[in-house]
């Protein structure tokens, strides 16, 4: 799919990683509809970089009715043909500290919101785009390589991302040939807070590339999946070879 002139919806748009995806798509000529929750300061900074071909919509995706409001706003713009589900919460939580609220919050943001947004996106595309060219639209979910090698203390986060990967593969079959559905799984892009130099060294020893990734490298993988019309149901690891 040619990105230039297309409209893209990106959730979690103010994150450091997702911000790079937004910039990459804008650089390729996409009009970006950026959904974010709390970081208004970053939204303003990013908006200035993007220029006039973007809008920012603030919304908590876990609040019932907010997704419907988002799509009511989206309908005022050219029909989107690209969806990037990147909104996520990431928190270490040992088993003794896990409760229902934490599980619900993690799955609501990392999984449920992505599925409902995908549902609304598919409905809109099917209503508005009648082109015979297939695929008509692209869906890309941002997953995580921790699904393959879950670290201690992240059981719920990893489970939520595993659910997203399973849905990616199922939806790729269900929505073909009108949509391609893929996922990008980043490795270590930004270090966690309070990580020690010793811990960093230990982790880097398991990465063949010998370094952490850069946000633009993940963004380029997203761009590649949008531009390629014959890839669907795939999980692209951008991890420097860590999962090899």
Residue range(s) defining the domain that contains residue 47: 7-237
Residue 1 lies in a domain: no
Which pLDDT score, from 0 to 100, does residue 194 have?
79
pLDDT reading at 8 higher than 90:
yes
- What SS3 class is residue 229? coil
pLDDT digits (tens, 9 = 90+) for 44-88: 999 988 876 789 999 999 998 999 999 999 988 899 999 999 999
Q: What's the structural domain count of the chain?
A: 1
CA 45 to chain CA mean position, Å: 20
Single pTM value for the model: 0.95
pLDDT at 14 exceeding the cut of 90: yes
Give the end-to-end CA distance of the chain in Å, rounded to a whole number: 30
User: Cα–Cα distance between 16 and 28 in angstroms, integer?
Assistant: 19
In a domain, 136, yes or no: yes
Which CATH number goes with the domain that contains 161? 3.40.50.720
Q: Is the pLDDT of residue 192 over 80?
A: no
CB crowding 149-164: b at 16 or more within 10 Å, else e: ebeeebbbbbbbbbbb
């Amino acid at each position: 799919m040619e990105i230039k002139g297309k409209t893209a919806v990106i959730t979690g748009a103010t994150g450091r990683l997702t911000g790079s995806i937004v910039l990459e798509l804008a650089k390729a000529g996409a009009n970006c509809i950026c959904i974010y929750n709390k970081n208004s300061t970053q939204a303003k900074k990013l908006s200035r970089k993007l220029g006039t071909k973007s809008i920012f919509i603030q919304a908590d995706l876990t609040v019932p009715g907010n997704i419907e409001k988002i799509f009511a706003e989206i309908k005022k713009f050219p029909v989107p043909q690209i969806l990037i589900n990147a909104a996520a919460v990431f928190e270490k939580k040992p088993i003794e500290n896990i409760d229902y609220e934490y599980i619900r919050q993690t799955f609501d943001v990392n999984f449920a919101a992505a599925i409902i947004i995908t549902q609304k996106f598919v409905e809109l595309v099917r209503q508005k785009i009648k082109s015979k060219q297939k695929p008509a639209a692209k869906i890309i979910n941002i997953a995580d390589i921790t699904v393959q090698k879950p670290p201690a203390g992240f059981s719920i986060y990893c489970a939520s991302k595993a659910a997203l990967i399973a849905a990616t593969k199922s939806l790729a079959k269900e929505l073909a040939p009108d949509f391609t559905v893929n996922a990008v799984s980043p490795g270590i892009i930004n270090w966690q807070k309070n990580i020690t130099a010793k811990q960093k060294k230990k982790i880097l020893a398991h990465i063949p590339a010998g370094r952490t990734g850069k946000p633009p490298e993940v963004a380029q993988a997203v761009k590649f999946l949008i531009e390629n019309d014959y890839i669907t149901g795939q999980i692209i690891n951008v991890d420097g070879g860590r999962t090899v």
